[in-house]
Chains A and B, each alone.
Chain A
């Protein structure tokens, strides 16, 4: 409850100190008598507050924990991931049908998963298409452009460790790239090299002699420690000794800067070629080791060079030699140069243990780095990374779910199980504690529920629900029943989903609901249409009675044209129309009666009598129409040329009159608005016809 009303204003007492309290400004005078809470559009809660004399409605927007990605972007990701997800599911089922084994894991299954992972990854944001500036800004150090999100960083991290078998051999180098792309994200929780570089870049214009600034050398060693060679090379070019007017008297100093820059650009990497990046790449391990040893010996040689003594700029001398220490893998220098454990971890891969190793030793190294750089606050990506290195699938899932939400969990499960039988077992095993479903299904259901709760995404929830073996179909039925029937487009989209999943019983129920809804809101034609589509004869019977009530006498007057449309809708007699088929017969009778009134053909009159008898025989003809029907047909009863009704037919009509006179005694009988002598003239006509018919037969 709003804290601004004070302690005595709260409606619901709460205890415990873990509850987050958000003040709500409603401007009403205390006390609030009643409060009603309902869901509004989107992620909003509608609070209706009632005070003594006034009331107010306040909408509270419930925003996700994550402000990095807007709701619209989140929906775009949801839409985009439907096709890759569905594709992977169908591949899995066709593969398992092919192999006829319970486990669909084929040797190259991970390739399918990798393709899926790349497609999903591309949804999370690629390089931004910003036009490159025509004149390159010489002081721009940090590359911009790409919009990094934690979600994309998490996805790539999972892909790297679980799916991409091809690049397992150069996993450390991939981690180097990963940090280069996403170091900026960690700035939100603690100091990072990226953050320091950005700050320094801003001040660059104010610095006169860059090599005299200690931050310049600090940042150079920092950037080098995490392998951002391009940035280091660019920054070294800013060194004062490169300026034309100084070149002559700082020759040796400049030579040393150049030598270090050259060594940096020759740093060997164990990885396939990387386009446009500094360093030399080696695909095979022996080649790499050879190159690595050669490079290291060159660094040592430079470190022992006599030129250092001749260099009289102390800042340059110390700064450059520190860079050499980094490249030589001096762990103290590395620890000084980096800001937090992941940066330190990466620097260890680069300069201390450049060879690939097993996950277990990677984990031990991580622990060592965490000890060296104790965490004051943990970033969510760091938690995820530890979980992955621990090889603890449950921790990874928990981190994903807690920090990144259900979308990531539902889609990342495919990656986690791609190469590991053990993870596959863990995630797909049915659990009693979860009501008989597996962890994988649970997370899929949770994600589907979130999709279902939004009017723009509910249509994609069925894709996820139908991939859930145990509970999916039940929840799908729930979802379909819950959709509004007010608008035709939503209703038809709903019915289309029923058609796709062969849920005929549901679509027929939805049509019934729609029929009754339209009927109740005065759209009688639409109501009848949907009830007919649902083949609900009993409901049609019931509404037929109401329809005739509301019609009253209008059906017998000239205003019949309005009814044409409805009768047309009822279609041919093969269609179920319930009690409404009366309308059909009545229209036919009216038409033939009209023909009789124009001409004097006995054939037409006989046809009209046929229709009349059919109507009177039919049990669905409402009793209140009997008298008006007979009154309308007086001309037929009094036909000049010959009696049109046979004895039995006349008797039938007389019996109906008799029934009517009995019905008159009942309280609910309503008198049709006909002339007062209507009944007697019908009686007379029938009696005369009976007499003539007897004589004829």
Chain B
């Protein structure tokens, strides 16, 4: 688990999001970086080629975005890398790329204002890339069907602003979860429109301050458990089978006295993902290990019942990260101070 090496690459622009581009290649490592240039007010998505031995991260190709990227995902579509991005202007963009030269081949999008109004929306892509779900702070949920020439969308739900969604994640081809204010999680089935199938609102400790969930993850082998990370260093898991009882993995307000849970961070947990690197006993009832990044500059691994492991402690916020699917020891993360860091574990 020890960190073998860390390399930082200044970008000279604000990094809104980072992802690995999932390609199986022994020769090349590609990363997708969403950048925002404040001086020219221009946003872009760039594919960078990484060479760890020469410590270089060089831009390969770039696509200009109409507004800032608020959510970024990378996957496959017909064996080609596909990048999905939603923007703070409410538009959705799908960039089809060519795995041979990492260039952008084609782009389809839904214009600003069609899916969401400002300020931000989150998007998730179904594995295999046929369908997207988007959720926005404006309280709208949309399903977007993908083909390589056009996009069709369907409004699944509109809370008319009464509820804002901050994150969305597929659980199965028909089910997905959303997260929002007040540490709430909703479970949806798009075959049953009109409202969430199930919702989770734990009765936290009375003194406990509430917060916002910023990121959720669902493991393909455990579709009944939703992992969530948010304010005050809070990371918890919601098992659909035990509805009202969250399993708290980290958090300032979590537990008390002897059963206090050690908290990895005290500030916003911006992103949470199951850690593919640690092989855990799949039959175990424990929550699978997960990785988080936080406002106070921590990148770390949390395992239920274990002490958290700090992989990186930066003097500035770590705003997003991604674990490489094909080389799960490698993690890419975006730093508040206009840089991208790449971490290699043993």
Contact = CB atoms under 8 A, between A and B. Distances in A.
Chief secondary structure at chain B's binding surface: loop
A565 B338 contact: no
B267 interface: yes
B199 interface: yes
Interface string B292-324: 000110000000000000000001110100000
A283 interface: no
A563 B338 CA distance: 41
A525 B163 contact: yes
Interface range on chain B (Cβ under 8 Å from partner): 35 or more
A44 interface: yes
A522 B160 CA distance: 8
Contacts of B12: 70, 72-73, 75-76
Contacts, number: 126
Interface stretch (B18-26, B94-102, B176-184): B176-184
Interface in A274-325: none
B291 interface: no
A398 interface: no
A566 interface: yes
Interface in B174-196: 180-182, 184, 186, 194-195
Contacts of A73: 12
A574 B204 CA distance: 11
Nearest to B212: A488
Contact of B41 (A41, A525, A562): A41
A529 B120 contact: no
Interface in B202-217: 203, 206, 209-210, 212
Contact of B195 (A518, A561, A569): A561
A69 to B, nearest CB: 12
Contacts of A99: none
Given A41-B40, A456-B14, A525 B316 contact: no
A523 B210 contact: no
A522 B161 CA distance: 6
Nearest to A459: B336
B273 interface: no
A571 B200 CA distance: 11
B137 interface: yes
Nearest to A75: B338
Contact of B162 (A70, A488, A496, A525): A525
Nearest to A457: B337
B182 A568 contact: yes
Interface in A80-127: 82-83
A496 B267 contact: yes
Contact of A525 (B118, B159, B267, B268): B159
A52 interface: no
A42 B38 contact: yes
Interface in A493-543: 493, 496, 499, 518, 522-526, 529, 532-533
Contacts of B319: 489
A493 B139 contact: no
Contacts of B225: none
A79 interface: yes
A487 B119 contact: yes
Contacts of A459: 316, 336
B338 A72 contact: yes
A697 to B, nearest CB: 39
A572 B208 CA distance: 12
B203 A572 contact: yes
Contacts of B336: 459
Given A563-B162, A566-B163, A499 B267 contact: yes
A523 B138 contact: yes
A82 B163 contact: no
B193 to A, nearest CB: 10
A30 interface: no
B293 to A, nearest CB: 13
B286 interface: no
B101 to A, nearest CB: 26
6 contacts: A70-B12, A72-B13, A489-B319, A561-B194, A569-B182, A569-B184
Pairs A-B, 4 closest by C-beta atoms: A565-B163, A72-B12, A42-B39, A561-B195
Given A41-B41, A525-B161, A569-B163, 17 more contacts: A75-B338, A76-B338, A79-B338, A454-B38, A456-B14, A459-B336, A489-B270, A493-B295, A496-B268, A524-B162, A533-B209, A565-B162, A568-B184, A568-B199, A571-B182, A571-B201, A572-B206
